[in-house]
Amino acid sequence: MYIYQVDRRLLQTQVRLASSHLRGRVLNVGSGTAERYSPPVEVTEYVRMDISGGPNVDVVGRAEDIPFPDASFDSVLSTQVFEHVENPELAAAEVSRILKRGGKLLITVPQWNELHEEPHDYWRYTKFGLQALFERHGCKLIQMDQRGGYYSVRAQMRIRFAIDKWHLHSRPILGRAASRLFKVWGSFAIWRDQRDTSVANRKHAIGWCAVFEKA
């Protein structure tokens, strides 16, 4: 059951806007079994890879050992995956390896999240750490977009706590009612972040959306 969360609302917008960088043959690293994002029209082939097989998974594989030859893809998409990768250095090297020269990577990561998918929840990233990780493996940063500020972080934390505390995903009637309340609350938090351009506010982020180009 879908329940509104600030993080998901902002994440969908970020990926939709940044996906214009994706073109040609695209690999989705850690796609999951649900179709979350529609590939842009410039994509000629869209390959979904996940650690487990299932619906909407074309290839089973790990980010640390991508089962494709060098320079096989024009673009790579990876959303909310690298916090679950035990060895991000190896995974970043693999992404760079399978990208063609000039190919683009669109990646999203959390700076704040509750523990999830335990025990395979290893890392959180600042924008500086994410940039340094991929630049060590030959990828140049093209753009970095922050997901949320102080008000969005605070709202997301409280919404996520309520979902887990009251088991809202398994209580449809209460979950749907709570989702409507969360949407009002979350939309107000996003609005406040858009209007507060202070340094103090920008020091807080739910996460990041970055685009890199293989040098």
Domains parsed from the chain with CATH numbers: 8-147+205-214 (3.40.50.150), 150-199 (no CATH)
Q: Give the number of C-alpha atoms closer than 13 A to the C-alpha of residue 204, restricted to the C-beta side.
A: 19
Q: Which two tokens stand for residue 109?
A: 């990561």
| Residue 207 pLDDT | 98
Kindly state the percentage of the chain with pLDDT values over 90: 93
Residue range 134-160, pLDDT digits in tens? 999 999 999 999 999 999 999 999 999
The residue type found at 165 is K
Closest CA to 75 of 145, 139, 124, 8: 139
Per-residue pLDDT reduced to its tens digit, 58-85: 999 999 999 999 999 999 999 999 999 9
Phi and psi at residue 139, in whole multiples of 5°? Answer: -115, 130
Given a cut of 80, is residue 37 above it in pLDDT? Answer: no
Q: What is residue 147's predicted lDDT score, i.e. its pLDDT?
A: 98
- In this prediction, residue 42 carries a pLDDT of 80
Mean pLDDT of the region 126-132: 98
pTM of the predicted protein model: 0.95
Please state, in angstroms and rounded to a whole number, the distance separating the CA atoms of residues 50 and 32.
Answer: 6
Q: pLDDT at position 85, please?
A: 98
Whether the bond into 119 is cis, omega within 30 of 0: yes
What number of other Cβ atoms are within 10 A of residue 112's Cβ? 17
> What is the predicted pLDDT for the residue at 95?
98
Handedness of CA 29, 32, 33, 38 (dihedral sign): negative
- How far apart, in Å, are the Cα atoms of 187 and each of 5, 127, 176? 10, 24, 17
Whose tokens are 């970043």? That residue is 92
